[in-house]
Amino acid sequence: MKESISNYQEGYASLDPGAGFFRPDSILARDFSVLTAALQFYENKGRKSLRWLDLMSGCGIRSLRWGLEAGGPEDKRESSLKDLEIWVNDADIDRCKLINTNLQPLLKKEISLFFKNDLAEDLLARSYLDKCFFDLVDLDCFGCPNSLLQPLMRVLAFDGILILSSTDGRSTTGHDDIGAIRSLSASVRTHPASWEIALRLQLAAIARQAWLLGRGLEPLTCFSDGRTFRIFVRFRRNLVQDEETQIGFLSRCEMCGAQSSQTLIKLSEWKKCLCKSGSARLSISGPLWLGPLQSPNFLIVIKHLAQQLTIPIADRSEKLIDRLQSDQGLPIFSWSTHELASRLPLEAPPKLRSMIRCLKQEGYQAFANGIVPGHFRTNASIGELLRICEEKFFQGFK
Ligand SMILES: C[S@@+](CC[C@H](N)C(=O)[O-])C[C@H]1O[C@@H](n2cnc3c(N)ncnc32)[C@H](O)[C@@H]1O
């Protein structure tokens, strides 16, 4: 049995993570979860009571941090914690005893706490039957979360927010074709920006389930460390106009590297790549989400709240917010300068910043990719990228 770190500190929380699964490294996701809860608390301004659900809570750290941090300090609080319900659930009975002990500091507050020891499937089904709706749900499960999406959305209030984690890295990054068909109903091929593709595939899976209920979705933020894929999404009462055009396919020629995309609604022939007729080898992934991955406004507001309410997030989280804020996630085509350098070849890959500057000077869109380190995104074609690299960065052959 794993030994426990009996007094772990994170944010304002001090707790025993116990002997079960716990990753201190997931602090980024927990910081973002607290900031999202704070955003909802402050947007709501006491207009209605809020109900938050930590569906697979482990040692209860997210709920504890929500209760201690999301309302901000008392002197700055605009509405009472009396208006807040926090539901903390884990199916493992041993975790439940620990959760109870860990959440003692919240019992002194006015928050209504509900401790549950149910299978997520049972809790969601019962909540649906009882018409018990949640404004915020954090689902931090092992593996793929997709079997829970539909029951979960049925208990999310209008404008509710879902915080979803998936550790199903194999099928979403093109390393398990059959698994991808089963869990995502999608074709998934390997891609140099596989972390981003995984997030886009997961968002498409969420969109399909939301649209079945006539609900629309707005991605607030997404990120990954390559092992876990984190998505924060708000569900609107209805779809916005043309929301269905956000789903489609991404192709990449395995020979020349050319990338192209198509919406599902106007699916037709693929654009020609750089290869001679008949020699192209297209790897096609999708259906995936073609739209933005980040809401810059959401990121600006959570950063402001962190400062205004002195929410103690890690420096790494602050840096991640800044990185994501400057990359909305469009255009969808992501490149590494290493790939371009090896195709020419160049002696060394151009610096990311120089490449982006050159592309902008030529009138193209270009941004550092906030999700995949060392990548940039652009609307320039592979032909143009290679021309620019050759003209600006060629210093002789390898
Ligand atoms: C990844 S851990 C949660 C970690 C926690 N959220 C954190 O930030 O440290 C997943 C938890 O889900 C629980 N679990 C697994 N399957 C479940 C199910 N079907 N229903 C409810 N809980 C479940 C496990 O007992 C485990 O504690």
Domain segments of the chain as ranges = 8-246+289-325, 333-398
Nearest CA to ligand 1 atom 6: 57
pLDDT at 397 over 70: no
Q: Does an H or E element contain 139, and which?
A: strand 134-140
Q: Name 388's Cβ contacts closer than 8 Å, sequence gap at least 6.
A: 355, 358, 359, 362, 380
- Return the amino acid letter for 389: C
Q: What topology does CATH give the domain 333-398? A: Phenylalanyl-tRNA Synthetase; Chain B, domain 1 (3.30.56)
Atom of ligand 1 lying closest to residue 26 CA: 8
Tell me what pLDDT residue 70 has: 96
Q: What topology does CATH give the domain 8-246+289-325? A: Rossmann fold (3.40.50)
Nearest CA to ligand 1 atom 26: 58
Q: Does an H or E element contain 57, and which?
A: none
The whole-model pTM stands at: 0.96
Atom of ligand 1 lying closest to residue 29 CA: 8
pLDDT in tens, 95-118: 999 999 999 999 999 899 999 999
Tell me what pLDDT residue 383 has: 96
pLDDT at 1 over 80: no
Cα(198) to ligand 1 centroid in Å equals 22
pLDDT at 75 over 90: no
**CATH topology match: 8-246+289-325 vs 333-398:** no
Tell me what pLDDT residue 5 has: 56
pLDDT at 286 over 70: yes
- Average pLDDT of the chain to the nearest whole number: 95
Is the shortest distance between the CB of 57 and ligand 1 below 6 Å?
A: yes
- Say how many C-beta atoms besides its own lie within 10 A of residue 221's C-beta: 26
pLDDT in tens, 150-160: 999 999 999 99
Cα(21) to ligand 1 centroid in Å equals 8
* C-alpha–C-alpha distance, residues 73 and 84, integer Å: 15
Cα(32) to ligand 1 centroid in Å equals 18
Mean pLDDT (whole number) for 203-214: 98
Cα(143) to ligand 1 centroid in Å equals 11
Q: For the chain, what percentages of helix, strand and coil (3-state, to nearest 5) are there?
A: 40, 20, 40
CB 112 within 8 A of CB 103: no
Tell me what pLDDT residue 3 has: 44
Q: Name 337's Cβ contacts closer than 8 Å, sequence gap at least 6.
A: 349, 350, 351, 352, 355, 374, 376
Q: Name 354's Cβ contacts closer than 8 Å, sequence gap at least 6.
A: 392, 393
CB 20 within 8 A of CB 90: no
Is the shortest distance between the CB of 24 and ligand 1 below 6 Å?
A: no
Tell me what pLDDT residue 69 has: 96
Cα(105) to ligand 1 centroid in Å equals 22
